[in-house]
Chain A
């Protein structure tokens, strides 16, 4: 083992290796900063160059590329509230509020320092773990994975906001949307209305963008200011690193969580950052700031998600089973280079494994280091007037969503989820709880069904199941304690800092929304009853429970319980209502809807150009010259990007009917 270790170290430390590694990292960063792209688009760019390269050099470049995907998307998560990939969704929760407070530099430096730490620590853990990983991974069967989804679900307890019934209902909406499409047991299509797009299920990236990014954009546009409320950007750069040092044990624990959960094939890396985030909330005493810009809410997911990439290497290398989308690409690249994953990766090819693990660590240092270095300047983006930024961001979001399945329905779904997100934000239905439900829905159902088929009910007595079950119970206990504590806190600190939110007295809008949710569950139950037993039992069960919970919410609203925790309306709490200077909630939804409808007719590029011009002139009141410059630079950029990356931009009826010249085709 020591032999392999030293050989690997020698390989890693050679000049050419480091050079190519850095090349891959830079390419990865440049692409990854754009939401929706990342490693997959990077591979298509890189691949033609891999041919004829020496395998270890090619490998270095490949690793450099893959390693920094969860790093560079942090920029958009923190600065704009746009989660670039599923791994950065939890970062948005606290990172973006920090940016709004003028602490973008601090949030970014804390995030990148955590990424760096997580990546390095992950490599240390992996060096030992890889040797015993095979039996560990084999010990995690469907039953254990099902229990892990339950553990993930228990995080709803701490992320569910002020009202438990509301939090659980929000989670239920996620579970319901997550079960749209083919049933894992039978392949029957559920709640698809005969629509081919829905048959494949709603893509996670689109949901993340719709539920977090669109509502924030709309809110900022209505306030019509820069992202950062502070006039001067705080010099938070050093503070961010200090934050990490202060919370080193949290970062350490989250890195371990990332490494281990990431190594389990099948669960998908998307849930890791939520588990880390939930863990951070559970284990800290003063939780009030979580969700409003607590730096620990940035440190936890970021230190876990780079460690996760390391963990995800394990099943990829040992079993040839990629744990994530980027690992699938990595696997494909490995095969093309001529390295076949398998059991030999821990025996005769152990040196290659170590080369990969340590290259990953160095790539993390280079990548996160470069981002850390850059963050000071990039943070200034948050001071640009929002009306100027918004058309770019809406373009980016639409483009990113379209990359999910490259179908115009992606954009319609984005809008639909966006409206849901706007309403959930308005009525304080916790969006993290919704997203956890969505992420876990299919895994939970699949593994439960498989565990029952493999072992019957006996699966509940497997040792792994009992251990994870115990952890889940402890987690729920912490959550419960948190709930009762924060109740006490309320009464203690009321006089000092906390101001009770204004409670609306007109509950009409809330009633409508809660009623619609209730009806959605009713439809889910109806749909489940149309399926065979195995195809419908999961969604039916979920909807049955959720009908009761959302029914309670609805009942409280209908009976006008104004002082209950379920009652919240941001229009009242934020003082928007009755303020003539603030556009109506749906105003900007119409703008975005107009853009998407236009894509159906004249395609993406023309629509974007029209949108830019209209928006900049009407909303930003920019000069004609400025409008022309911004519009043409955006259009040229999108067209070039699409051409170089071999990506389609959405095309409309116009393109179907008439042969258009590039780039309008």
Chain B
């Protein structure tokens, strides 16, 4: 069975390459597009401003060979890690030095977006200069310990006045989203900082050192869901996903969990409104809805942008992409080309007043100095 499949596949491959070479020859003889983008024999450097082995690194190393297959000339795509300064260092270097010939690309994450939104002094890059060709979304699930005695989001208000603890990496990390969410719901939580990652936070939860936690979708599915059966975890809500109009919808990975806007309505009895919610949504978009992205530098010619866009589109539309990507990306639609640009535009568009608000909130609540 397998061999038949394989034979079929290789036959298909052969035909494909025959067709391709035929097309190549035709185009050569016709000499149609003179300046067709071709990266044959080149090496693409993909700057990842994070350490080797982390989530963003794995994400980039997953995509690199797949995209390489689909881009004209099949250049080798190598990942170059430039960690430091909470990912601002690599992004700054990209802004300063990247060449706009399509051989330099940048992979960012929520940790690159947040300092930009917050106006961190270390940020010397501007997303507005770059062009996105891919946006990889993810989601998050908030859950609590059964010892708190609640079964669902509807009972969240009974947590008010209880001693809640949350193990966090830092107030300006992605943890800003859960911390602000709880604040909007008027639920007091004591954040304990200095965790080395979300994994360490989950471990603190499992040990019983803290009683509320959240994880991004893939970690939640693989490592927290098994604990629900053991009665150690009560899932409360997901952050949700953004639809095409920018409204929150239920996360398709967690259809039974209410999203944050629903929970807002349960707790406050009205539709979400106000600056705090607007800010939360901006940071949710930058941290989750468009968490990771591939960018081309300032001044990249349109045909190069198109070549990259096409390659990324072909990659995510390949038949076996979904099965291969599930472990790394989770079950979320990858936004490409125009959709990616739009997703990041929505995620990174914050008014000066809202930025001021969140900076003040961070300083007042968590003593963050800017």
Residues of chain B contacted by A187 (CB below 8 angstroms): 170-172, 193, 368
> A interface, by DSSP: helix, strand, loop or mixed?
helix
The B39-73 residues at the A interface (CB cut-off 8 A) are 45, 51-54, 57-58, 61-62, 65
Q: Is B28 an interface residue (CB 8 A)?
A: no
In the bound complex, what is the Cα–Cα distance between A325 and B83 (angstroms)?
A: 13
Q: Would A342 and B165 count as touching, CB distance under 8 A?
A: no
Interface residues on A, range: 35 or more
- Cβ–Cβ contact A446 & B54, under 8 A: no
Contact B367 A405 (CB under 8 A): no
Q: A338-B327, A453-B190, A646-B80 are in contact. Are A332 and B54 (CB under 8 A)?
A: yes
> Given A44-B79, A321-B199, A454-B165: A328 and B192 within 8 A (CB)?
no
* Residue from A266, A319, A648 within 8 A of B223 (CB atoms): A319
B162 contacts A by Cβ under 8 Å: no
Residue of B nearest to A338 (CB): B327
Chain A neighbourhood of B192, CB < 8 A:
449-450, 453-454
A233 on interface, CB distance cutoff 8 Å? no
Docked Cα-Cα span, A170 to B367, in Å, equals 33
B367 near A186 with CB under 8 A, answer: yes
Q: Is A40 within 8 A of B53, CB to CB?
A: yes
- Pair A138/B206 contact, Cβ less than 8 Å: yes
Complex: A265 Cα to B196 Cα, angstroms: 10
Chain B's closest residue to A347 (CB) is B226
Determine if B54 and A141 form an interchain contact, defined as CB atoms under 8 angstroms apart: no
Q: How many angstroms from the CA of A340 to the CA of B84 in the assembled complex?
A: 27
Indicate if the CB atoms of B327 and A340 lie closer than 8 Å: yes
Whether the pair B222, A142 counts as a contact (CB closer than 8 A) is: no
Interface flags, A605-630, vs B, CB<8A=1, else 0: 00000000000000000000000000
> Given A142, A321, A446, which contacts B197 in the complex, CB threshold below 8 Å?
A321
In the complex, chain A residues whose CB is within 8 Å of the CB of B58: 332, 335-336
Determine how close the nearest CB of chain A comes to the CB of B162; give it in whole angstroms.
16
Alpha-carbon distance between A322 and B52 when the two chains are bound, in angstroms: 12
Contact between A40 and B226 (Cβ–Cβ < 8 Å)? no
Q: Is A329 an interface residue, CB under 8 A from the partner? A: yes
When distances are taken between beta carbons in the complex, the residues of chain B under 8 Å from A593 are: none
Query: Which B residues between 169 and 200 are near A, CB-CB below 8 angstroms?
Result: 170-172, 190, 192-194, 196-197, 199-200
In the bound complex, how far is the Cα of B51 from the Cα of A204, in angstroms? 15
Contact B207 A48 (CB under 8 A): no
Q: A187-B172, A336-B62, A342-B223 are in contact. Are A454 and B210 (CB under 8 A)?
A: yes
Least CB separation from A322: chain B residue? B53
Considering the chains assembled together, what is the distance between the CA atoms of A200 and B88 in angstroms?
11
Does the CB pair A184–B193 fall under 8 Å? Answer: yes
| Residue A429 is within 8 A (CB to CB) of chain B in the complex | no
- B13: Cβ under 8 A from any A Cβ: no
Within 8 A of A (CB), among B75-94: 76, 78-80, 82-85, 89
Residue A196 at the B interface, CB < 8 A? yes
CB proximity to B under 8 Å, residues A448-466: 449-450, 453-455
Asked whether any CB of chain B lies closer than 8 Å to the CB of A493, the reply is no
Contact with A along B190-221 (1 / 0, CB 8 A): 10111011011011101101100000000100
Indicate if the CB atoms of A320 and B223 lie closer than 8 Å: yes
Distance in Å: Cβ of A352 to nearest Cβ of chain B? 14
Which residues from chain B contact A333 at a C-beta distance below 8 Å?
Answer: 53
The yes or no answer to A43 lying at the interface (CB within 8 A) is yes
The reply to whether B53 and A321 contact each other, CB–CB distance below 8 Å, is no
Cross-chain pair count, CB within 8 angstroms: 126
User: Chain B residues near A185 (CB, 8 Å)?
Assistant: 193-194
Proximity bits, A323-356, B CB within 8 Å = 1, else 0: 0010111111101101010111000000000000
A405 to B223, CA, bound (A): 32
Pick the residue among A328, A406, A535 that contacts B54 (CB under 8 A).
A328
User: A484 in the interface, Cβ–Cβ < 8 Å?
Assistant: no
A321 to B51, CA, bound (A): 15
Is A565 engaged at the interface, CB distance under 8 Å to the other chain? no
Give the chain A neighbours of B196 by CB distance below 8 A: 266
Q: Among the listed B80, B170, B222, B367, which residue makes an inter-chain contact with A342, where contact means beta carbons less than 8 Å apart?
A: B222
Q: Which residues of B contact A200 (CB under 8 A)?
A: 84-85
Nearest-CB distance from B196 to chain A (Å)? Answer: 7
Taking CB atoms, residues of chain A closer than 8 Å to B210 are 454
A319 to B366: give the CA distance in the assembly, Å: 29
Q: Are B57 and A141 in contact (CB under 8 A)?
A: no
- Nearest opposing residue in chain A for B90, CB measure: A406
**Which residues of B lie under 8 Å from residue A320 when comparing CB positions?**
199, 219, 222-223
Q: Contact at A340–B222, with CB atoms within 8 Å?
A: yes
A450 to B327, Cβ gap below 8 A? no
Residues from chain A with a CB closer than 8 A to the CB of B128 are: none
Q: Is B35 an interface residue (CB 8 A)?
A: no
Q: Mark A128-145, 1 if CB is under 8 A from B, else 0.
A: 000000000111011000
Give, as a whole number of angstroms, the nearest-CB distance from B324 to chain A: 8
- Give every chain A residue within 8 A of B82 (Cβ-Cβ): 406
Residues of A within 8 A of B355 (CB): none
B122 at the binding interface (Cβ < 8 Å):
yes
Interface string of A31-61 (1 = CB under 8 A from B): 0000000001001100110010000000000
C-alpha spacing A214/B292, complex, angstroms: 41
Name which residue of chain A comes closest to B209, CB basis: A454
| Alpha-carbon gap, A160 to B222, bound state (A) | 47
**B98 CB to nearest A CB, Å:** 13
Nearest chain B CB to A342's CB is how many angstroms away? Answer: 5
Quick one: closest B residue to A452, CB to CB?
B192
B366 & A186 in contact (Cβ 8 Å cutoff):
yes
Question: Is B369 in the interface zone, CB < 8 Å from A?
Answer: yes
Given contacts A196-B122, A320-B219, whether A328 and B53 have CB atoms under 8 Å apart is: yes
**Is A332 touching B57 in the complex (CB atoms < 8 A)?**
yes
Does B193 lie within 8 Å of A141, measured CB to CB? Answer: no
B10 to chain A, nearest CB (A): 13
Q: Are A51 and B65 in contact (CB under 8 A)?
A: yes
Q: Chain B contacts of A338 at CB under 8 A?
A: 327
- Chain A residues, Cβ within 8 Å of B54: 328, 332
Contacting pair A450 B84 (CB below 8 A): no
Q: Please, which residues of chain B bring their CB within 8 A of the CB of A319?
A: 199, 202-203, 223
Per-residue CB contact flags for chain B residues 136-151 toward chain A (1 = under 8 Å, else 0) read: 0000000000000000
* Residue contact B65 to A331, C-beta cutoff 8 Å: no
B52, A138: Cβ atoms closer than 8 Å: no
Interface flags for B116-153 (1: CB within 8 Å of A; 0: not) read: 00000010000000000000000000000000000000
Q: List, in ascending order, chain A residues with CB within 8 A of B85's CB.
A: 196, 199-200
A491 within 8 A of B: no
B204:A331 contact, CB within 8 angstroms? no
CB proximity to B under 8 Å, residues A296-330: 319-322, 325, 327-330
Q: Which of A177-212 contact B (CB under 8 A)?
A: 184-188, 196, 199-200
A532 is an interface residue with CB less than 8 A from chain B: yes
Give, as a whole number of angstroms, the nearest-CB distance from B197 to chain A.
7
Q: Is A407 interfacial (CB 8 A cutoff)? A: yes
Cross-chain contact A336 with B197 (CB below 8 angstroms) = no
A323 → B minimal CB distance (Å): 10
A-B contact pairs, 12 of them (CB 8 A): A40-B52, A43-B53, A185-B193, A185-B194, A200-B85, A265-B200, A320-B199, A328-B51, A332-B57, A406-B82, A449-B194, A450-B204
5 closest A-B pairs (Cβ-Cβ)?
A328-B53, A184-B194, A332-B53, A329-B53, A321-B199
Binding site for B on A (CB under 8 A): 40, 43-44, 47-48, 51, 137-139, 141-142, 184-188, 196, 199-200, 265-266, 319-322, 325, 327-333, 335-336, 338, 340, 342-344, 405-407, 446, 449-450, 453-455, 532, 535, 646, 648
Since A199-B85, A335-B328 are in contact, a sample of 17 more A-B pairs with Cβ atoms closer than 8 Å, ordered by chain A residue number, is A43-B52, A47-B61, A51-B65, A184-B193, A185-B194, A186-B366, A187-B193, A265-B203, A321-B200, A327-B53, A332-B54, A406-B84, A449-B192, A449-B194, A454-B209, A532-B367, A646-B79
